[in-house]
Structures are given as structure tokens and as C-alpha cells.
Structure 1
Amino acid sequence: MIIILAASIIFPTLMLYLKNKSKTIQIVFNAIALLSAVIFGDIAALAIRQILIDNTVFMTAIHSVFLNPLFLITGGYIGLFAIYRLLILTLSAR
């Protein structure tokens, strides 16, 4: 738990540092976030679609989407990216 909390502070701070060093890296971070959001949304939509087709119990079957490693990786990056963007907004508000 402590490792996850530390990583959620360290990685966005590292991203902010790298962004300030290179304009290109900012574009890379944004492109990865865009791709992650599309993949994350598609996986969620396909899981919901399959539940509707199979006419299964929604609350039980939807949790199987958490077994998809790509869903977890893209969702994790979106979370870190959101913290990174909040850091940018907070520091630019001075």
C-alpha cells in the first residue's frame, strides 16, 4: 500500500520534471494518455456489450474486466497522468 502511494507521487513528479526538460516528452505523455483512454474505454464498452448480449447479471459479470491486464495498465496510466496534469495546473496557478 505504501509503495503504491509513493509511486502515485513519485511518477507524476518525475513526469513533470521530464516535461520541463523536453517539449517532445510532453507530446509523448499526451499521446500515451490519449491511446490509453481509447483502449480503456473500448475494453469497458466491449465488456458491457458482452454482458448485455449474454443477458448476465451486470454487477457480478462486469468485475471480470478487472482481470484484463491491458485494462489495468491503461487505467493506471490515466490515473498517473491525471495527477501529473493536476500538478501542472497547480504549479502554473502561481
Structure 2
Amino acid sequence: MFALLIIGSLLAPLLLLACRFLTPKLTMVFDLAALAALYAFGWIATGAIYKILRDDMVMMTEVHRVFYNSLFLASGAYLGVYAVYLIWWKSFRLWREQP
């Protein structure tokens, strides 16, 4: 399973880069998906922290419940892949611009 996660974290940004080269208009779709994932990630984390503070719970035991939320995990995974994709794209552009 761990190897699958590593392979996926390498292949997914490459897939985004390939799609960007083949269909440049997909860049906006990737950006909008990242924005939606960022909002979802933030709202779920904020809601969990608010509930902990509101109910005066022990934070270390209750905050881990957020990891059972599949939307939280999916949005975090996309944000990680998107960040790697952006770094690779920026690196590629810098490499191409240098003489």
C-alpha cells in the first residue's frame, strides 16, 4: 500500500503536467479544483477545532476524528498532488528560460 501511495504521488502530478501540455485550458480546471479542495480542507479542519473548543473536549483524542472524513482526506491528497505539480511546472519553466 505504501508503494502505491508513493507511485501515485509521482504519477498524478505527471498526469497533470501532461494534461497541461496537451490541453492548456485545463489549467483553470486544476486551479479551481485546488481552490475548492482548499476551502473544503479548511472548513472541515475549522469545524473540528471549533467543536473541540465549544464542547471543551480533550484535543488530542478528538481531533483525530477529522481523519475519518473522506472529503478531508481527498482534498488534502489533491492539494498535495497540486503542490507538487506546481513546483514541477515552475521548475520546468525556469529550466526552459535559462540559456
State the alpha-carbon separation in 1 of the partners of residues 87 and 60 from structure 2.
Answer: 32
State the alpha-carbon separation in 1 of the partners of residues 21 and 88 from structure 2.
Answer: 12
TM-score for the superposition, normalised by structure 1: 0.97
Partner of 2:81: 80
Alignment: residue pair count = 94
Letter of the 1:36 counterpart: A
TM-score for the superposition, normalised by structure 2: 0.92
Identity among equivalent pairs (%): 34
Partner of 1:59: 60
Root mean square deviation, CA, Å? 0.6
Give the number of the structure with larger relative contact order, counting CA–CA contacts within 8 Å between residues 6 or more apart: 1
Q: Gaps (5+ residues) in structure 1? A: none
Q: 1:90 Cα deviation (Å)?
A: 1.1
Q: Gaps (5+ residues) in structure 2? A: none
Stretches (4+) displaced over 3 A: none
State the alpha-carbon separation in 2 of the partners of residues 71 and 3 from structure 1.
Answer: 20
